[in-house]
Amino acid sequence: MDKKKPVQLRPYIKTRYVYQKLRVCKHCHNFTILWEDSCAFCKRHSLVHVMELAEKKAKRSMQSDRLLFYIIGLSAVLLSQTFLQIVISFACMVVLLVWLWLIQRRVLQTETLHALDKLIRSHQKQILDGLDLNKATAAAAIKEDAQLGYEIVREISSLVRNDRIRLQQIVLLQTFSLRKDMELELEPLLLNEFDPDLAAYIGEIAKIKRELINSKAIRYLLDHEADILRMEQGRQIMIDATGAAVRKKKYIDTFPDFISRYADGLPRYRFLRLYQIVRRNPGLSWNGLRDRVSAIYNEQYRSDPDFQKWD
Ligand SMILES: [Zn+2]
């Protein structure tokens, strides 16, 4: 097995709307999801965030609304016959303009999102072309620097969700030595098909970030259990996932057979966790899991003082 590389991943910045991360070149309208300084297509330093551009567009259309009000108001002033009419028309114009300005200020964010939506819809082809260019950058980076390659693929995956991108992320993640303090994810990476790298990744996550093992991850393991058990570390992966699953009663309720199959391989402190839940719920048999836990307890932990507390 290759030696895994220690890495310090750049933090991943989550945005409220996925498209917020896109930047567009003001010169050639090339889109990018990456953090380069200049446009990869025309090489100019003219990249702006799409949100910025959308806000500018929203403000411009608001400005023309105000201009229209202004022209109407001014015409009323010019057409006035007496001084009183001039004063009234002018006052009305000022009040209406202030009112409009207040409304516009309040709806700026909504209007910006509308403008963003329009911008995205009318530039779909350019966005896809831009992402293709980003993918080519990723492919080149992966050969040189796996960490940078992973970071690029991770950015692309916020917009492009398919198994190819997921697989690329998993394969790259498996070349790093993973740590608890890393920003890791599991559910977005789950594939439909069996993949040994993904199975191995789930096994590692079960050890370092137990909280990421959820029903979907467990279902993936169960759907591909036979394939996983054919892997060299396959049984250990299933045991580690079981150890993560017993942290919550709801997983025991949903997957009692799975937990029953691997309970005898659990390390002591994970088995203790399972034992505690079983003892706390005397009315539940979980399709034989209760008996299985009792049998393991009798074989291995009968004289263990930590277990006695629960007797
Ligand atoms: Zn450009």
Report pLDDT for 20: 87
Taking the centre of ligand 1 as the mean of its atom positions, its distance from the CA of residue 108, in whole angstroms, is 28
Separation CA 166–CA 180 (nearest Å): 21
pLDDT score for 12: 86
What local confidence, expressed as pLDDT, does residue 2 receive? 59
Whether 174 contacts 195, CB under 8 Å:
no
Q: How far, in Å, from the CA of 132 to the mean position of ligand 1?
A: 15
Q: Is 1 exposed, middle or buried (0-12, 13-18, 19+ CB in 10 A)?
A: exposed
Give me the residue label for tokens 């080519």.
Answer: 136
The reported pLDDT for the residue numbered 56 is: 95
Looking at residue 11, its pLDDT comes to: 85
Position of tokens 């990421």? 212
Q: Percent of the chain at pLDDT above 90? A: 79
Predicted local confidence at residue 276, as pLDDT: 95
State the pLDDT at residue 14: 85
Centre of ligand 1 from the C-alpha of residue 30, in Å:
5
Instruction: Tell me the CA–centroid distance for residue 49 and ligand 1, in Å.
Output: 13
CA distances from 227 to 196, 224, 274, 301 (A): 8, 5, 26, 32
Backbone angles phi, psi at 48, to 5 degrees: -130, 155
How much is the pLDDT for 216? 97
Distance 159 CA to ligand 1 centre (A): 20
Task: Calculate the alpha carbon distances from 174 to 238, 268, 279 in Å.
Answer: 18, 28, 38
Residues of the chain with pLDDT under 70: 1-2, 310-311
Centroid of ligand 1 to alpha carbon of 126 (angstroms): 11
Q: How remote is the CA of residue 47 from the centroid of ligand 1, in Å? A: 7
Q: What is the pLDDT of residue 273?
A: 96
Centroid of ligand 1 to alpha carbon of 160 (angstroms) = 22
Q: Tell how far the Cα of 38 is from the centroid of ligand 1, in angstroms.
A: 8
State the residue for tokens 């004063």.
87
Count of Cβ atoms closer than 10 Å to residue 42 Cβ: 12
